[in-house]
Amino acid sequence: MEPILSRYIWTNTKRQQLWILLVVGASMIPYYMAFNLPKLIVNGPIQGEGFETPDATQTFGNITLDLPWLGQVELFQGIPLERLPMLLALSMAFLALVIVNGLFKFYINTYKGRLGERLLRRIRFALVDRILRFPPARLKALKPGEISSMVKDEVEPLGGFTADAFVQPALLGGQALTALLFIFIQHFWLGMLTFGVAMVQVLVIPKMRQRLIVLGRERQLTARQLAGRVSDIVTGIDTIRAHDTTNFERADIAHRLSRIFRIRYDIYQWKFLVKFLNNFLAQLTPFLFYSFGGYLTIKGTLDVGQLVAVINAYKELPGPLKELIDWDLTRQDVQVKYEQVVEQFESDVLIDADLQSPTPDPDAAFGHPLSVRNVSLVDDSGSLVLDQVSLKIETGERVAFLGPSGSGGGALAEALGRLVWPTSGNILAGEHDLLHLPESLVGRKISYASGEGHLFDGTLEDNLLYGLKNEPRVPRVYTGRARRLRDWEVMEAGLSGNPVFDLNDSWIDEAAIARHTGEADLLSSVMAVFDCVGLSDDVLDMALHTTLDEAQRQTLAERIVALRAPLAAALREAGLGAMVSQFRPGCYNSGATVGENLLFGQLTGEEDSLRRIVRSRFFRELIFSDGIGEDLFAMGRAIAEITVDLFRDMPPDHVFFQRMTLMRPEEIPDYTALLHRLEGKSFATAADADRIALMRLAFYYNERWFRFGVLDEALMRRIVEVRGKIHAGMPDALKPLIEVYETGRYIRSATLLENLLFGKVDTFQSDAERKVRTVASEVLGRDPALCRDVQTIGLCYGIGPAGRRLQAVQRQKLNLARAMIRPSDYYILNQPLTGLDAAARRKIRVDVVDFLAGRPDRPGIVWVTADEADVDGFDRIVRFENGSVVSDHYSETFSRESARTEGVEASA
Amino acid sequence: MMCMKDEVQILKAVPLFARMPVQKLRMLAFTSERVHFAPGDPIAREGEMSSVAYVILCGEAEVSAPAGVGSTVSGLIGERDVIGESALLCERPRIASVTAKTEVVALRVNRDCYMRLVADCPHSTAQTIRLLGERMNATLC
């Protein structure tokens, strides 16, 4: 990238810079006219100069230019006006100038702002673009936190400076020179004197500011490192807590902050010292005028008029000079920032932008086989991980790279996936080096997956289809307002050097995927690969545990409710009836909370609804008259005692609190105090707020989960009795707060599974969830359309940043599935399932390899494994040891004819 | 119906937890889940990676270890016995399969929770080490 900011700005914005300079120049004319006008108004019509007689007139608006050689040229003769009309005309002219000046200012500021924003956008894009083009070795050294802080914050001031980069010095320099010239005309030596002091200011001050720049650079560096460190802490918080190194981290942060503080304080000291000196020099000149100029006047070599004129002219000088020096400081400051950022984004090697173009050179072709020629790899620590390996992989071959970790198979797979570049030797597709072929070919013809692929924040589906979004395939059609907005976006993107790709286009070639998987459509393709890696059940699970939103509910609710009866029958048939506690008006449901049982329904707005119900007159009368209030109160008290006892000594951020859903950590002291207050008191004598607090605890209690032993059969029966009374006498005002369990009704605040079952799975039974889900999925399967809708909901599950909401094993499976769904010629699968046990891994491996081998294009498959027992079913086994291939043989079942390879050519 | 208090009594009788203070045992019970196995249900499968152990609260289960594995595991186990206690200490595949013979109610103890509780309980740590030492002795001799 261009190392000097001013040059970068000029190259990218010269036309706009010249235009704005021109506009600023033009704006000076009305600006100075507005200065002169008040004097004309006061002297003329107000004080009466030239209007000595009542009918005297003056010319208004006469425009005469004084041109060299041509003499006076009158452009407009003007209109003769009397005193009052003249006042009005001049005042109107003043108003007009005010408006014109304002409009000029508005235009210039908007224009400058836009110019700056465009440049900022250009720089930010260029930086990210470079990251996308870094070679693998360079990427390893990058710290994500620092890089994002650079792209986001550090380049920000560059935008603001852009518009002033050339206009400001031209303008201020012009003003300063005019004032200086005027002083010279008045008196040569006084001019020289002023010039001398100004030069000291212009030359010395920036020199002193050098140190400020050095400090500024340090400040930027330390602040960036701090950002990197903070992001490191956030990412590694589990490790930090697990190792009890929080205090070490505190020390580190405090140390960094102290350094930043020192630097910043130093900056302040220098900044104000320089400011002091600058002000002093500015005031020194008038001192010289008074003393030296005064002396000359007394001596008689300078007349008083000249001295006053010089002093007046000098008033115009320090302002622009100071601003000019400030501008220079900003320039140096942003130059440093720019340099610092650009330095971090420098790289000796950068992938050629053409290689990453989405639509490649039509002549480029991806040949076969994939040949590895004398490839050696040296890792970052300098040790040789692959030593002169040569081999060929044909399409249609199923190859296992076998060897313990670090033996070379994994390293070669990484090289085939272009995660690392060979230190020597090369990898060819047919005749062409992989690294010189366009990425749009290599990246699509070779799919790579390892156990560590990164997942992006988004839905399950977004992540699975990520590898298919190589180029916009079907443009989105816009109309009306959206069309205008899109046109504007395209124009602006062009002006800032950004690409004009539209994120809203369809980026997925659905037909190609369908051909690849042999399925009818995208959803079936997705489910087919998920079946292979064993994720389909998880997808269903995610869907079943979702609480549907309004739109989903509208399409699904009725069909789900209709499935309740068949599902219940199917569960009974499978002998699983006992695994579900259905909602029955006359029974206590042990899978639900006390509150849900009491109301026989779910609250629509949780806490707020509960508060309104508990405070309602109806409810209060009921609990007081019936005695259930006393029971709930006693239960809540027991729960509070046990919980407080359990958690008394726990720090509020302890992970065990996550299991305690009845109380928040900060409430422990409140409940301790409450129990203390209630000592010796009963339900009748307790304060109202305390009663409600304890009953609230009882409300969310479930004996199955907590097993505190505070809810017995008799109380359960009582709760069911009261339930009847509640529903018989519930006032209309409270009804909308509760969604009652009715067989024909979809419960909005319950999950999809609870709605299907019209009950709760008894998690107490071992494996109940899985068994019930199997039957549920079988019943759902009878209605293919509904089944697809449910799967779609599961695919919308948000997996969180880096897929953190998934288990490690699910992440690996998803990563593998992401490679499988891509139509490629070669699949390089580098120990993709390390998190699974041997048996589960083998099953998925066999399914995945069978799936890929059965594709119409007969792709080549490479599977890296360290497990000797995990190589059945491969055509060929390449064994690695210490970075070399030690054996390479075909299995007996593999027909030699179909493999056009000679196996090992050379192994060191 | 059995409640947390009864679970704590049973945990106290398990050698691995015996030296833990009652307060910690209560927390261990709280952070564990109760599970119910029908006769014939598998409780543990040999070779499977797991991070949980089961303390049998009631019922009987059958252990089937492959040939060649230490004699400490095989045959019938019942109330207060622990299934897969090594999973509480380290990540290893299960060395034996266990199947419920009668109806079994067990407490599923999670390694992460157990480790957190042991971490600030020196008594319990010492007891665990002593127990491991005894077991090692038994297997080596």
| Sequential DSSP letters for A264-299 | HHHHHHHHHHHHHHHHHHHHHHHHHIIIIIHHHHHH
Question: What's the distance, Cα to Cα, between the start and end of chain A in Å?
Answer: 42
Alpha helices (runs of H) in A796-837, residue ranges in sequence order: 808-820
Dist CA A365 CA A610 (whole Å): 67
The whole-number average pLDDT for the span B10-25 is: 86
Tokens 């900003």 correspond to what residue? A330
Minimum distance, in Å, between the CA of residue A745 and any CA atom of chain B: 31
Higher-confidence residue of B57 and A365: namely B57
Is the CB of A657 inside 8 Å of chain B's CB atoms? no
Higher-confidence residue of A341 and B132: namely A341
Chain B residues with CB inside 8 Å of A766's CB? Answer: 35-38, 41, 43
Higher-confidence residue of A675 and A139: namely A675
Res B138: pLDDT: 67
Q: Among A659, A712, A763, whose Cβ lies nearest the Cβ of B31?
A: A659
Is the CB of A75 inside 8 Å of chain B's CB atoms? no
Instruction: Reply yes or no on whether the pLDDT at A666 is more than 90.
Output: no
* Mean of the per-residue pLDDT values of chain B: 82
Is the CB of B49 inside 8 Å of chain A's CB atoms? yes
Domains parsed from chain B with CATH numbers: 4-140 (2.60.120.10)
Task: Dump pLDDT digits (tens) for A833-858.
Answer: 988 878 888 899 999 999 999 988 89
Question: Do A772 and A761 form a contact (C-beta atoms < 8 A)?
Answer: yes
Higher-confidence residue of A301 and A221: namely A221
Instruction: Reply yes or no on whether the pLDDT at A44 is more than 90.
Output: no
Q: Which of B1, B24, B34, B104 best tests the A interface by mutation, with the highest count of A CBs <10 A?
A: B1
Res B139: pLDDT: 61
Contact A703 B1 (CB under 8 A): yes
Res A904: pLDDT: 40
How many whole angstroms from its chain centre is CA A440?
A: 26
Contact B31 A767 (CB under 8 A): no
Is the CB of A207 inside 8 Å of chain B's CB atoms? no
Contact A708 B27 (CB under 8 A): no
Contact A656 B116 (CB under 8 A): yes
Question: Do A493 and A122 form a contact (C-beta atoms < 8 A)?
Answer: no
Question: Do A701 and A579 form a contact (C-beta atoms < 8 A)?
Answer: no
Res A141: pLDDT: 78
pLDDT class of A893 with cuts at 50, 70, 90: low
pLDDT class of A907 with cuts at 50, 70, 90: very low
Question: Do A237 and A288 form a contact (C-beta atoms < 8 A)?
Answer: no
Res A111: pLDDT: 93
Contact A659 B30 (CB under 8 A): yes
Res B68: pLDDT: 56
pLDDT class of B20 with cuts at 50, 70, 90: confident
The whole-number average pLDDT for the span A798-812 is: 87
Instruction: Reply yes or no on whether the pLDDT at A451 is more than 60.
Output: yes
Is the CB of A270 inside 8 Å of chain B's CB atoms? no
Domains parsed from chain A with CATH numbers: 5-344 (1.20.1560.10), 370-471+801-898 (3.40.50.300), 532-578+766-795 (no CATH), 584-740 (no CATH)
Instruction: Reply yes or no on whether the pLDDT at A254 is more than 70.
Output: yes
Neighbours of A817 (CB within 10 A): 25
Nearest of A812, A374, A781, A765 to residue A567 by alpha carbon: A781
Is the CB of B36 inside 8 Å of chain A's CB atoms? yes
Contact B34 A764 (CB under 8 A): yes
The whole-number average pLDDT for the span A467-491 is: 90
Instruction: Average the pLDDT over each of A191-200, A791-800, B131-140 and give the range with the smallest value.
Output: B131-140
Task: Dump pLDDT digits (tens) for A71-120.
Answer: 777 778 888 888 888 889 889 998 998 899 899 989 998 999 999 999 99
Res A530: pLDDT: 92
Instruction: Reply yes or no on whether the pLDDT at A813 is more than 90.
Output: yes
Dist CA B44 CA B86 (whole Å): 13
Res A428: pLDDT: 92
Res A302: pLDDT: 77
For chain B, percent of residues with pLDDT exceeding 90: 19
* Mean of the per-residue pLDDT values of chain A: 86
Minimum distance, in Å, between the CA of residue B136 and any CA atom of chain A: 26
The DSSP H or E segment spanning A580 is strand A580-582
Nearest of A413, A412, A417 to residue A386 by alpha carbon: A412
Distances (CA, A) of A775 to A546, A568, A577, A780: 18, 10, 11, 9
Q: Could you tell me the strand order of the sheet in which B42-44 lies?
A: B42-44, B97-100, B61-64, B75-77
A6 SS3 class? helix
Res A826: pLDDT: 94
The sign one gets for the Cα dihedral A491, A493, A498, A503 is negative
Contact B30 A766 (CB under 8 A): no
Q: Among B27, B41, B47, whose Cβ lies nearest the Cβ of A839?
A: B47
Higher-confidence residue of B49 and A902: namely B49
Nearest of A176, A421, A456, A192 to residue A315 by alpha carbon: A176
Highest mean pLDDT among A199-203, A880-884, B10-14: A880-884
Is the CB of A709 inside 8 Å of chain B's CB atoms? yes
Q: Which residue of B has its CA nearest to A713?
A: B1
Minimum distance, in Å, between the CA of residue A410 and any CA atom of chain B: 24
Minimum distance, in Å, between the CA of residue B130 and any CA atom of chain A: 24
Is the CB of B48 inside 8 Å of chain A's CB atoms? yes
Instruction: Reply yes or no on whether the pLDDT at A153 is more than 90.
Output: no
Higher-confidence residue of A710 and A240: namely A710
Contacts with A825 (C-beta within 8 Å, 6 or more apart), sequence order: A366, A368, A395, A445, A446, A857, A859, A860
Dist CA A143 CA A126 (whole Å): 18
Minimum distance, in Å, between the CA of residue B50 and any CA atom of chain A: 10
Q: Among B4, B23, B27, whose Cβ lies nearest the Cβ of A707?
A: B4
Res A424: pLDDT: 93
Regarding beta strands A826-830 and A860-865, do their DSSP bridges make them parallel or antiparallel, or are they unpaired? Answer: parallel
Task: Dump pLDDT digits (tens) for A559-605.
Answer: 889 999 999 999 999 888 888 888 988 899 988 899 889 989 888 87
Instruction: Reply yes or no on whether the pLDDT at A531 is more than 50.
Output: yes
Environment class of A463 (CB within 10 Å of its CB; exposed 0-12, middle 13-18, buried 19+): buried
Minimum distance, in Å, between the CA of residue B17 and any CA atom of chain A: 17
Contact B30 A655 (CB under 8 A): no
Instruction: Average the pLDDT over each of A99-103, A505-509, B39-43, B45-49 and give the range with the smallest value.
Output: B45-49
Contacts with A730 (C-beta within 8 Å, 6 or more apart), sequence order: A618, A738
pLDDT class of A899 with cuts at 50, 70, 90: very low
B106 SS3 class? strand
Chain A from 817 to 846: CB within 8 A of any B CB: 837-839
Distances (CA, A) of A220 to A214, A262, A341: 10, 13, 10
Res A908: pLDDT: 34
Minimum distance, in Å, between the CA of residue B141 and any CA atom of chain A: 31
Q: Please give the full DSSP string across A295-317, using - where no structure is assigned.
A: HHHHHTSS-HHHHHHHHHHHHTS
Contact A708 B3 (CB under 8 A): yes
The whole-number average pLDDT for the span A404-417 is: 92
Dist CA A312 CA A327 (whole Å): 25
Dist CA B137 CA B141 (whole Å): 6
Tokens 């449901």 correspond to what residue? A589
In this complex, how many residue pairs, one in chain A and one in chain B, have their CB atoms less than 8 Å apart?
53
Chain A residues with CB inside 8 Å of B4's CB? Answer: 642, 706-709
Tokens 């307790």 correspond to what residue? A686
Dist CA B76 CA B61 (whole Å): 6
- Name residue A506's beta-bridge partners: A474
Instruction: Reply yes or no on whether the pLDDT at B112 is more than 60.
Output: yes
Q: Which of A707, A833, A837 best tests the B interface by mutation, with the highest count of B CBs <10 A?
A: A707
Alpha helices (runs of H) in B1-94, residue ranges in sequence order: 4-12, 22-31
Q: Which residue of B has its CA nearest to A771?
A: B41
pLDDT class of A730 with cuts at 50, 70, 90: confident
Res A463: pLDDT: 92
Is the CB of A703 inside 8 Å of chain B's CB atoms? yes
Is the CB of B41 inside 8 Å of chain A's CB atoms? yes
> Quick one: tokens of A552?
């989903």
Q: Which of A701, A716, A766, A867 best tests the B interface by mutation, with the highest count of B CBs <10 A?
A: A766
Higher-confidence residue of A392 and A45: namely A392
Chain A residues with CB inside 8 Å of B23's CB? Answer: 646, 649
Half-sphere exposure in the Cβ direction for A800 (13 Å, CA): 8
Half-sphere exposure in the Cβ direction for B126 (13 Å, CA): 4
Question: Do A469 and A534 form a contact (C-beta atoms < 8 A)?
Answer: no
Chain A residues with CB inside 8 Å of B27's CB? Answer: 646, 656
Highest mean pLDDT among A67-71, A324-328, B1-5: A324-328
Instruction: Reply yes or no on whether the pLDDT at A641 is more than 90.
Output: yes
Q: Which of B4, B10, B30, B117 best tests the A interface by mutation, with the highest count of A CBs <10 A?
A: B30
Nearest of A170, A469, A450 to residue A324 by alpha carbon: A170
Chain A residues with CB inside 8 Å of B26's CB? Answer: 645-646
Res A651: pLDDT: 81
- Name residue A376's beta-bridge partners: A424
Alpha helices (runs of H) in A496-549, residue ranges in sequence order: 510-517, 522-533, 536-544
The whole-number average pLDDT for the span A651-673 is: 84
pLDDT class of A900 with cuts at 50, 70, 90: very low
Question: Do A752 and A546 form a contact (C-beta atoms < 8 A)?
Answer: yes
Q: Which of B4, B6, B51, B98 best tests the A interface by mutation, with the highest count of A CBs <10 A?
A: B4
